[in-house]
Amino acid sequence: MTQEKFKVVDVANEKSSDVVWHQASVSHAQREVANGHAPAVLWFTGLSGSGKSTVANAVDKMLHDLGCKTYVLDGDNVRHGLNGDLGFSDADRVENIRRIGEVSKLFVDAGLLVSTAFISPFVEDRESVRALLNDSQYSNSQHSNSQFIEVYIDTPIEVCEQRDPKGLYKKARAGEIKNFTGIDSAYELPTSPEVHVKTAVQSIEECALQVIDYLKVSGYIKV
């Protein structure tokens, strides 16, 4: 192979270094004023069946009714589209969360309060998303609040398994699904979540109101 051919191959595989960040013409401050609230991602994490989607959607409805700009990114839905090429190996879960983190960042950049409902089983990946959202180079908040709010949906696996809303625990116990979180795949507990709810002892409304309360007390929303 000639030197020239090596060069062509290298250039084709090289990640572009000629990309610069383009400043938007609508500022983040203008978006916050227009929306009447600060942007952030509410990152719901917990076992399958713990109540992530249920509580995230309850919070979303409450915020929407308060006039906030919101959106929910849900594990099942995103895995049908953007992340349809990913499975449930550790490596695929890492990539799943990395992409969701990037998507969340865009929604937050657009000024929204975005709720995400992914198992997101690994501490390192959740902390990477936190760091991404709070990267000062591109940070879009007008105040000192973090743009990443971890909401731990803490539900004992026995309760999740009893709920089994999709019948997946039954399949996992029967060996029909491999690498199932909490059975033969790990879930690493959040160490210091901003919000910690226990759906086995709190109602859906109580859990959602606890999240709304956090947003009020911390100054994200002013109602």
Ligand X SMILES: Nc1ncnc2c1ncn2[C@@H]1O[C@H](COP(=O)(O)OS(=O)(=O)O)[C@@H](OP(=O)(O)O)[C@H]1O
Which stretches of the chain bind ligand X, using CB under 6 A? 48-49, 52-53, 75-76, 79, 88, 93, 96-97, 118-121, 166, 168, 177, 179-181, 185
The residues that bridge with 143 in the sheet, in sequence order, are none
Binders in 82-121 for ligand ADP, by CB under 6 A: 117
Check the annotation: does 219 bind a ligand. Answer: no
Of 38, 41, 42, 49, which one interacts with ligand ADP (CB under 6 A)?
Answer: 49
31 with 184: CB under 8 angstroms? no
**Terminal Cα-to-Cα distance of the chain (whole angstroms):** 68
Instruction: Give the nearest distance from C-beta 48 to ligand X in angstroms.
Output: 3
H/E stretch holding 96 reads: helix 90-109
Q: Could you say whether residue 165 binds ligand ADP (CB under 6 A)?
A: yes
145 with 219: CB under 8 angstroms? yes
Angle at 81 between CA 77 and CA 63, to 5 degrees: 40
Number of Cβ within a 10 Å radius of residue 170: 12
Q: Could you say whether residue 51 binds ligand ADP (CB under 6 A)?
A: yes
Check the annotation: does 84 bind a ligand. Answer: no
Pick what 181 binds: ligand X, ligand ADP, none; C-beta below 5 to 8 Å, kind-dependent: ligand X
Instruction: Give the nearest distance from C-beta 60 to ligand ADP in angstroms.
Output: 12
Sign for the pseudo-dihedral over CA of 106, 195, 165, 93: positive
Give the x-and-dash track for 24-43 against ligand ADP (CB under 6 A).
--------------------
| Residues catalogued as catalytic | 120
